[in-house]
Amino acid sequence: MNKEQRDKRTAKIMEDFEHNALGLNDTFQFQCRTCGKCCMNREDILLTARDLHNIARELGKTVEYVLKRYCETYIGDTSRLPIVRLRPLGPERICPLMYEKRCIVHKAKPVVCALYPLGRGFKSPVTEAGIERPIKYEPIYFIQSETCGISKHTHTVRSWLEYFGIQVEDEFYSIWNELISELSEFIRNLEAAKAPDKLIELLWNAVFYSIYVNYDTEKELVPQFHRNSECVKELMLNIAAKAS
């Protein structure tokens, strides 16, 4: 997916986000036809550390294996951070986790896939007086206008989340987006200050390893993510101190 295609896809998602928002108890109609259409011609399935951790655990593999076998990484045009996505295959751009129109990690599929036909985003984080950094990113759900299912069964957003094991109070969603926002701001400021390319590349590599790779799938994710986040933040402080 080139920049123009990514921009077009992002614009469509933002349009749905703005106009098709749903509350937890709002309803929508959808039934999957198991046609596999939503797993084709998709180059925008972005993965979080939790997605990689869950997929690796389901397959009995390491996170490194999943990254090399099924994913590709690029630097985000806006975020300026390493972004991991599933690497589509062939002329039909089929998800690499598909086999005979079935997802091989159905029980542990990425949250963006489990949510479908819902999408999830956030606006203004909840803050407290006197605290500059957001303390919680509240998710906002929306129905995607382009779906491949049929309008047969009625669901609430809450019941859909519960069915797929997605927590309404999702701690990881909040801490993941907080760290990503903080890292993005830091790197964009470094680039604006004309920091050396080697320094930026060093930080990219450290961020990629720390927030995506460095996990034991036999242990719970969130404590490991907190540990890795602290390592990245310490690196940021060291870089900032040397630059000042």
Q: Per-residue pLDDT tens for 161-191?
A: 998 888 888 889 989 999 999 999 999 999 9
Same domain, 181 and 137: no
pLDDT-based confidence at residue 149 (cuts at 50, 70, 90): confident
Domain end position, chosen among 148, 171, 194: 171
Q: Is 153 exposed, middle or buried (0-12, 13-18, 19+ CB in 10 A)?
A: exposed
Same domain, 69 and 160: yes
Q: Would you call the peptide bond into 117 cis, given omega within 30 degrees of 0 as the criterion? A: yes
For the ranges 82-91, 101-110, 125-134, 185-194, the lowest mean pLDDT is seen at: 125-134
Q: At what angle do helices 221-243 and 171-192 cross, to 10 degrees?
A: 20
Per the structure, the count of domains in the chain is 2
Return the percent helix, strand and coil in the chain, to nearest 5: 50, 20, 35
Same domain, 78 and 124: yes
Same domain, 92 and 154: yes
Same domain, 50 and 65: yes
Domain hosting 181: range is 173-243
Same domain, 49 and 162: yes
Predicted model pTM? 0.86
For the ranges 31-40, 121-130, 235-244, the lowest mean pLDDT is seen at: 121-130
Q: How far apart are CA 133 and CA 126, in angstroms?
A: 10
Residues 162, 168, 170, 174: what is their CA dihedral angle, to the nearest 10 degrees?
Answer: 140
At 34 the pLDDT is 80
**Residue 59, amino acid:** L
Backbone angles phi, psi at 134, to 5 degrees: -55, 145
Same domain, 153 and 86: yes
Same domain, 79 and 143: yes
Same domain, 127 and 82: yes
84-96: average pLDDT: 93
